[in-house]
Amino acid sequence: MIGFGVGLITLGLIGVPLSNRMEIQKREDWVLIAQRAGASVASFTLNLSSGVYMLGVSVWVHNYAEAFYLISDAIGTHVVILRLPNTDQSSEWIYSEGTFQIIDCGYYIFELFNATVSGVRSFAYLSQRRYIDECIYPYRSLLLVGVFSLVVGVPLLVVGLVNPSTPKPEN
């Protein structure tokens, strides 16, 4: 019984600290940083840091003629042109999504050109690609095993030490 108790205590002393072991993995994710609805979709300004971005635009267009989003820096230099998909109809929903990279931090202007939009039925969102540290506890299930082993092992060891199971030889 003493050996079994010592074995359980050893398992518990190994399992409990091991269950708290953490691994960190980097995960790539898109984080929403801005969204606009209504008339502000046609033109808005954002302060952007350097990084990779995704612009998604959903617009109800009228009088469509090769519409595009033009992204310019504060001094008016064109950074990105996001073209909306072509359509044969004069009025319909258009959705487009594109990625671009910003090298210099600062204010950037987003403007929709060559499409008359319905101010109420328009939407744009901007996401930034970020790397997120994800904490993983791979041995978390050993916590219950370790605690159980300690709870059972300590009393077994105590009982085994107090009441030896081997009888004393008689003279």
Q: How far is CA 71 from the centre of its chain?
A: 26
The answer, yes or no, to whether residue 119 has pLDDT greater than 60, is no
Domain boundaries, the chain: 24-134
Q: Which helix (H) or strand (E) holds 18?
A: helix 2-19
Question: Is the whole-model pTM more than 0.75?
Answer: no
Q: How far is CA 107 from the centre of its chain?
A: 26
Which residues are registered as beta bridge partners of 32?
A: 127
Which has the higher per-residue pLDDT, 42 or 104?
104
Which has the higher per-residue pLDDT, 37 or 30?
30
The answer, yes or no, to whether residue 144 has pLDDT greater than 70, is yes
The answer, yes or no, to whether residue 124 has pLDDT greater than 70, is yes
As a whole-number percent, the residues of the chain with pLDDT over 90 amount to 4
Q: How do 68-73 and 106-113 pair as beta strands?
A: antiparallel
pLDDT at 9: 73
pLDDT at 71: 87
Task: Classify 24-134 by CATH class.
Answer: mainly beta
Q: How far is CA 55 from the centre of its chain?
A: 18
State the DSSP string of 128-166.
EEEEEEEEE-TTTTHHHHHHHHHHHHHHHHHHHHHS-SS
Please give the average per-residue pLDDT across 56-69, as a whole number. 73
